[in-house]
Amino acid sequence: MIEGTCLCGSVSWQLDGTPDGATACNCTACRRYGVLWAYGYVDEDIKTQGETRAYVRGKALEFHFCPICGCIAFWRGLQKDETGNTRIAVNLRLSEPSAVAHIPIDHFDGLDTFDDLPRDGKCVSDYWF
């Protein structure tokens, strides 16, 4: 399990298991937030705690942040998928570095092509240290 918490500790999340990658996206929101995402489903493999505020972007996503310290904690889909589940992604930058340092980076071009880009061999620790 990987855990993350905002700077003040009011908002937290738990991710069961270890993701096979951390997504770095260059869309207009993600590049401004500076986040690294790990994906799952609400209350299946990802659980969140604490009161958040949300910025709703379009008809697809709501970005949740701590109303006290402002850290972006996760995004949640506004619609259920075909199985009736709701997608969620947590910000791995809220984890302790040792818990996520080894996770490889996946690049997603959310600005222009909406394509997954090839891995470049970097992992989370390359972005932090």
Q: How confident is the model at residue 127 (pLDDT cuts 50, 70, 90)?
A: confident
Q: pTM, whole model, 2 decimals?
A: 0.92
Q: How confident is the model at residue 114 (pLDDT cuts 50, 70, 90)?
A: confident
Contact 81, 103 (CB under 8 A): no
Topology, domain 2-128: 2.170.150
Contact 61, 79 (CB under 8 A): no
Which distant-in-sequence residues (6+ apart) come within 8 Å of 13 by Cβ? 3, 4, 5, 46, 47, 48, 49, 73, 74, 90, 94
Give residue 108's Cα distance to chain centre.
13
pLDDT at residue 110, as a whole number: 87
Determine what percent of the chain is predicted with pLDDT higher than 90: 84
Contact 21, 123 (CB under 8 A): no
* Mean pLDDT (whole number) for 80-106: 95
pLDDT at residue 129, as a whole number: 67
* Mean pLDDT (whole number) for 119-126: 92
